[in-house]
Amino acid sequence: MVAQDDGVARVALELPLRANLTAVDNIALIPLYQRHFDAAESTRQARAMLDALGYGDIAALRDPDMTPAQRFVTQLARALMLKRPRLIIDRPGAMLYDVPYPAFIAQLAARPEIDGTWEIYDFDWNLALYPQ
């Protein structure tokens, strides 16, 4: 487990979405409460982040209606909204059991709108899945 600090954002099983909120509302919580933007601007930023990740079509879905990949993208978007220089993805295989996740994560990280350092922490037996 990696300790959280101001320079790190995390995507992990123990940081779940709010089940009663849509994907866009879960993401909008970050600019709303951490940067004190109004609801309209927070929602605009959340939609822009989903669009940047190529998942704008999931904005209205709630957690119970999402696939594991859609849930992960929403958690990732929420973490990216923190605008921290390091992103840590903790045990992605536990969250992304519906897609070939090393390729899925690499595809998301390669999007031109996304920056920062992404680190993956996984079980030792999964390390062979990631390029060195």
pLDDT of residue 5: 61
Domains and CATH numbers, the chain: 8-129 (3.40.50.300)
Q: Which two structure tokens, joined as six digits, stand for 109? A: 């990280």
**Can you give the length of the chain in residues?**
132
Q: Does 131 score more than 80 pLDDT?
A: no
Mean per-residue pLDDT over the chain, rounded: 91
Q: At residue 130, does pLDDT exceed 90?
A: no
Q: Rounded CA gap, 14 and 12, in Å?
A: 5
Q: For 25-39, what is each residue's pLDDT tens digit?
A: 999 999 999 989 999
Q: Which range has the worst mean pLDDT, 37-46, 50-59, 116-125?
A: 116-125
What per-residue confidence (pLDDT) applies to 122? 87
Give per-residue pLDDT as tens, 62-114: 999 999 999 999 999 999 999 999 999 999 989 999 999 899 999 999 888 78
What is the SS3 assignment for 105?
A: helix
pTM above 0.75, yes or no: yes
Helix axes 101-109, 68-80, angle to 10 degrees: 30
Q: Residue 20 pLDDT more than 90? A: yes
Counting residues of the chain whose pLDDT is more than 70, the rounded percentage is 95
Q: CB-based contacts of 16: which residues, under 8 Å, 6+ apart?
A: 63, 75
Q: Is the distance from CB of 73 to CB of 111 less than 8 angstroms? A: no
The residue among 11, 7, 42, 3 whose CA lies nearest residue 104 is 11
How many angstroms separate the CA atoms of 88 and 79, rounded? Answer: 9
* DSSP H or E stretch at residue 120: strand 117-121
pLDDT at 113: 77
